[in-house]
């Protein structure tokens, strides 16, 4: 018993020594209150250690209390033990095991921000906005975000069953998905669609995304592009500095990219473009949807507020809080929400999202839409595991550039973006006097109307 109390006391002393450092930085009244609360905490810790039915180490209790403390703040703050802290670093390098989904907690529900393209979840038919209500038949109601991630991840090749609540479905839908090593290809489908309109799909912001994005812009320039569709649909975010670096490609030096506001002055920042010679000044349309979150919302908001691009699609997710990763002495860490993002005009992103300049709902091709109407929920259940999964060989064929272009040209949101950019070009030529308008007077007089002089393409 004496040895056990000694261990507890040692754990408490370590905890108190860390707390004392923090207390020294606050005023007297707050100090007194905090000391009283720490005394309560230490009493509870000692009691649990001495009387709980099973023996627990001081580290078990301290780690458990830290998890509870962080999870009580908001869905994005969490305590990371040493293994989880190492894993967090792995996530930002583009390779990890799992299903290929980005998740958050919204209105108390475990919500899928987006399934990443070409991953098990994406191939199984998981959609942005689906709510995971069960993992392996266990309700997610009381799970923290950290707990949910742990349950969803596992050894590659193993299965996990998830049950989702989908808007518009009258029953829950079960998915059994095989875990894989997830390798992120962040810059995709770079090509000219038509009329010198370039297209880039940016799936996520990872360590090498900015370099890959610049290369994609250079490729489009060499192919003669003079305008751009930047597709951020289902882009869940990633590294903030990378999102900022990519945004700077389109903003002149000194233009505001994003600001953050927190409780402390040091957390209030304004980030401005440092790009002295931005690469492109093309007309742009940025595509967003409910799966666009965090870094993609920062990029879209910056281009929108700086009048640099037209935002088209549907309202974004609304994940606009800043998490700072703070290492602790034993190799563990805190992922703590320290501030919130604001667009250059001062609009808050968190819980609100980015409203597009032009709202265009995604429409399924007519034949697909009709099929979906005729499908009963029971049929979806039957096909969800195997029958409805895309054939691997077909997926390979879909990767061919010509087929990707054909698919994109059948995407009504992409088509709307193309129409907008064509309209901008026509208006620009008209304003410069290179496109002759047809006047009512000329038409009424029966005059010969000559076609507009061809404008050389860049």
* CB contact at 8 A, 1 and 46: no
Helices and strands counted in the chain (H then E) = 15, 19
The β-bridge relationship of strands 180-183 and 95-98 is antiparallel
First to last CA, the chain: 83
Max distance between CA atoms of the chain, in angstroms, equals 109
* CB contact at 8 A, 323 and 333: no
Q: Which of 454, 417, 429 is nearest to 198 (CA)?
A: 417
71 counts as catalytic: no
440 counts as catalytic: no
Q: For residue 381, which phi and psi values (nearest 5 degrees)?
A: -55, -45
Coil, strand or helix at 358: strand
Q: Which tokens in the block code for residue 458?
A: 């860049």
340 counts as catalytic: no
In angstroms, rounded to a whole number, what is the distance separating the alpha carbons of residues 326 and 89?
12
Strand segments, DSSP code E, in 69-196 are 78-80, 95-98, 101-106, 109-115, 131-135, 138-139, 159-165, 173-178, 180-183, 187-194
Beta bridge mates, 79: 334
**Given 294, 316, 321, 332, the catalytic residue:** 294
**Given 81, 227, 305, 425, the catalytic residue:** 305
Coil, strand or helix at 409: helix
Determine the angle formed by the axes of helices 2-23 and 58-71, rounding to 10 degrees. 40
* Residues labelled catalytic: 294, 305, 319
């Amino acid at each position: 018993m004496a040895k056990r109390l000694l261990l507890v006391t040692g754990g408490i002393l370590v905890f108190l020594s860390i707390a004392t450092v923090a207390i020294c930085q606050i005023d007297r009244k707050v100090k007194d209150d905090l000391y009283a609360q720490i005394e309560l905490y230490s009493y509870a810790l000692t009691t649990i250690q001495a009387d709980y039915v099973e023996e627990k180490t001081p580290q078990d209790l301290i780690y458990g209390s830290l998890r509870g403390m962080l999870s009580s703040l908001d869905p994005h703050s969490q305590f990371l033990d040493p293994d989880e802290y190492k894993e967090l670093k792995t996530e930002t390098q583009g390779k990890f095991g799992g299903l290929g989904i980005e998740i958050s907690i919204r209105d108390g529900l475990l919500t899928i921000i987006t399934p990443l393209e070409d991953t098990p979840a994406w191939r199984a038919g998981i959609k942005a906005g689906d709510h995971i209500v069960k993992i392996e038949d266990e309700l997610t109601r009381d799970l923290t975000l950290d707990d949910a991630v742990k349950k969803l991840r596992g050894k590659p090749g193993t299965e996990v069953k998830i049950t989702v609540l989908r808007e518009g479905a009258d029953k829950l839908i079960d998915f059994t998905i095989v875990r894989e090593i997830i390798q992120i290809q962040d810059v995709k489908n770079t090509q000219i669609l038509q009329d010198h309109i370039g297209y880039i799909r940016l799936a996520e912001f990872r360590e090498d995304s900015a370099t890959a994005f610049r290369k994609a812009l250079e490729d489009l320039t060499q192919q003669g592009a003079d305008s751009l569709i930047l597709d951020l649909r289902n882009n869940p975010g990633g590294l903030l500095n990378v999102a900022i670096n990519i945004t700077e490609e389109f903003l002149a030096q000194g233009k505001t990219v994003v600001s953050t506001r927190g409780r402390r002055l040091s957390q209030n920042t304004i980030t401005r473009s440092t790009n002295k010679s931005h690469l492109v000044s093309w007309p742009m349309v940025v595509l967003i949807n409910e799966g666009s979150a965090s870094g993609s919302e920062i990029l879209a908001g910056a281009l929108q507020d700086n009048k640099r691009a037209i935002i088209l699609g549907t309202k974004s997710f609304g994940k606009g809080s800043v998490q700072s990763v703070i290492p602790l002495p034993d190799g563990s860490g805190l992922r703590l929400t320290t501030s919130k993002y604001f667009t250059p005009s001062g609009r808050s992103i968190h819980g609100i999202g980015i409203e597009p300049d032009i709202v265009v709902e995604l429409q399924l091709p007519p034949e697909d839409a009709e099929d979906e109407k005729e499908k009963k929920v029971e049929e979806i259940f039957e096909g969800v595991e195997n029958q409805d999964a895309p054939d691997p060989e077909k997926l390979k064929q879909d990767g061919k550039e010509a087929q990707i272009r054909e698919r994109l040209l059948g995407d009504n949101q992409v088509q709307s973006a193309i129409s907008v950019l064509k309209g901008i070009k026509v208006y620009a030529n008209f304003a410069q006097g290179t496109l002759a308008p047809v006047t009512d007077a000329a038409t009424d007089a029966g005059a010969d109307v000559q076609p507009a002089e061809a404008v050389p393409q860049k």
